[in-house]
């Protein structure tokens, strides 16, 4: 979500805190107010259906209710006010960040309260929508390629679903570090998009028809050595009879990933329920390969990681500023359309990152 100058007051703030109040972008002038409108989701107690609702609350009275959960965590905005212990920011600073999992304020709100350790300065030349729309995928790409797989120049990297929001940023980061990139495309449009990438991708594997042999293509491209790093977008775990048709067509089997991994390779997976049988583990052992789970939320589970996390956020902003990261974003949408847009996102009907602009 992007931000721009808005009202200079957003309700009282505890002055002895390390919390800042950030104004989320309002297009044009807006009157001073203390009641904030935000988007929440509500899960029915009788079913798994999720309903999105707008609520107006006083900023100082926003407390987590068991029936309503805040929506939107990637934010970019202007600091309105700061607590007395805030040392990194002052009112008027342009910032971007990711709200923590336990945030009581929705990012889809006119103003939010956030601890300074979750924010970094936004470079002036970076657009609000780019900052909010890229920061999450930037963190995920850094986590996968730098911290979980130790990307370095000359390495070969397979990035599944390279035209996705995460895939796009991961490809650009891998190219920036001098890696050889192979990617998969889930449609003809995605294939054409990837073939236009500069620097060019070594090979684009079209999996849209369900007939592409991902393992064979990767082994051919690497002279039979296998790839050094794999960042998947999910994998098939079971036999053809036990998998949904869409997953069967677009995703490789876990055995394909193990086969195409090179000696000492790193497999970074987004498959949270990955199941490896003893023969799978034995094959990975023989290759000296590793499996790591991509969960970017772990950065905020321990204060020990705070310094590294802030360095990642700053580097993401820097690479946006220098043009290394060039995100594929849909046109920003106004707040009043956010409810409908979130319902579309929940149904996985959108490919590009959606950004709400105030």
Q: Average pLDDT, stretch 78-83?
A: 92
The token pair at 5 is 């100058």
- Whether 262 and 225 have beta carbons less than 8 Å apart is answered as yes
| pLDDT score, position 228 | 98
How far is residue 27 CA from its own chain's centroid? Answer: 25
Mean pLDDT of 228-243: 83
How is residue 17 written in tokens? Answer: 């805190």
Domain boundary among the residues 269, 294, 319 is at 294
Residue 33 confidence class, pLDDT cut points 50, 70, 90: very low
* Residue 142 belongs to some domain of the structure: no
pLDDT higher than 50, residue 42: yes
DSSP letters, 177-244, are TT-EEEEEESSHHHHHHHHT-SSPPSEEEE-TTS---HHHHHHHHTTTS-EEEEE-S--B-S-GGGS-
- Average of per-residue pLDDT across 321-337: 90
Among 294, 315, 334, the domain-final residue is 294
**Would the pLDDT of 128 be above 80?**
yes
Whole-angstrom Cα Rg for the chain: 22
Q: Which two tokens stand for residue 251?
A: 């995703």
Report yes or no on 229 lying in a domain: yes
Residues 285 and 308 in one domain: no
24 & 108 share domain: yes
Looking at the structure, do residues 128 and 159 belong to the same domain, yes or no? no
Please give the structure tokens belonging to residue 216. Answer: 């064979």
Q: Per this entry, what is the length of the chain?
A: 358
Whether residue 42 is contained in a domain is answered as yes
User: Does 169 lie in the same domain as 278?
Assistant: yes
Looking at the fold, whether 336 and 217 belong to one and the same domain comes out as no
Please tell me the predicted confidence (pLDDT) of residue 26.
Answer: 26
Contact 75, 96 (CB under 8 A): yes
Structure token digits, residue 319: 């690479």
**What is the count of structural domains for the chain?**
2
Q: Model pTM?
A: 0.84
203 plus 243 within the same structural domain? yes
Residue 323: CATH number of its domain: 3.90.180.10
DSSP for 84-148 reads TT--S--TT-EEEEE--TT-SS-SSBSEEEEEGGGEEEPPTTS-HHHHHHHHHHHHHHHIIIIIT
**Cis before 84 (ω within 30):** no
| 14 occurs within a structural domain | no
Q: Residue 194 sits in a domain of what CATH number?
A: 3.40.50.720
Residue 84 within a domain:
yes
Task: Indicate whether 59 and 110 sit together in one domain.
Answer: yes
Ranges 17-31, 77-91, 231-245, 339-353, most confident: 77-91
Q: Is residue 143 in a domain?
A: no
Q: Determine, yes or no, domain membership for 254.
A: yes
Instruction: Compute the distance between CA of residue 169 and CA of residue 177 in angstroms, rounded to an integer.
Output: 12
Cα gap 201→183, rounded to integer Å: 7
DSSP 65: B
Q: By residue range, what is the domain housing residue 347?
A: 19-132+300-357
In a domain, residue 5? The reply is no
180 with 286, same domain: the answer is yes
């Amino acid at each position: 979500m992007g931000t721009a100058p808005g009202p200079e007051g957003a309700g009282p703030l505890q002055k002895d805190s390390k919390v800042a109040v950030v104004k989320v972008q309002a297009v044009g002038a807006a009157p001073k107010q203390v009641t904030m409108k935000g988007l929440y989701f509500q899960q029915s107690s009788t079913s798994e259906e999720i309903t999105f609702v707008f609520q107006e609350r006083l900023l100082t009275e926003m407390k987590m209710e068991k029936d309503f959960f805040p929506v939107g965590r990637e934010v970019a905005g202007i600091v309105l006010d700061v607590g007395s212990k805030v040392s990194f920011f002052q009112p008027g600073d342009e910032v971007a960040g990711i709200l923590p999992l336990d945030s009581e304020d929705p990012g889809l709100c006119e103003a939010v309260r956030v601890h300074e350790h979750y924010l970094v300065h936004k470079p002036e030349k970076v657009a609000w929508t780019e900052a909010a729309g890229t920061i999450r995928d930037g963190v995920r790409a850094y986590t996968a390629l730098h911290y979980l797989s130790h990307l370095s120049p000359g390495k070969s990297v397979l990035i599944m679903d390279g035209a996705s929001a995460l895939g796009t940023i991961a490809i650009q980061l891998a190219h920036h570090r001098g890696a050889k990139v192979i990617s998969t495309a889930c449609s003809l449009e995605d294939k054409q998009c990837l073939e236009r990438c500069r620097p060019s991708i070594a090979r684009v594997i079209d999996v849209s028809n369900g007939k592409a042999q991902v393992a064979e293509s990767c082994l051919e491209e690497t002279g039979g050595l296998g790839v050094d790093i794999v960042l998947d977008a999910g994998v098939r775990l079971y036999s053809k009879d036990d998998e949904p048709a869409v997953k069967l067509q677009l995703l490789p089997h876990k055995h394909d990933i193990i086969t195409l991994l090179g000696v000492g390779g790193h497999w970074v997976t987004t498959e949270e329920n990955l199941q490896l049988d003893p023969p799978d583990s034995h094959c990975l052992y023989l290759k000296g390969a590793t499996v790591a789970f991509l969960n970017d939320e772990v950065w905020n589970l321990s204060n020990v990681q705070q310094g590294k996390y802030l360095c990642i956020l700053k580097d993401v902003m820097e690479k946006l500023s220098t043009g290394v990261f060039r995100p594929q974003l849909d046109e920003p949408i106004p707040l009043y359309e956010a409810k409908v847009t979130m319902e579309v996102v929940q149904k996985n009907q959108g490919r590009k990152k959606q950004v709400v602009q105030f």
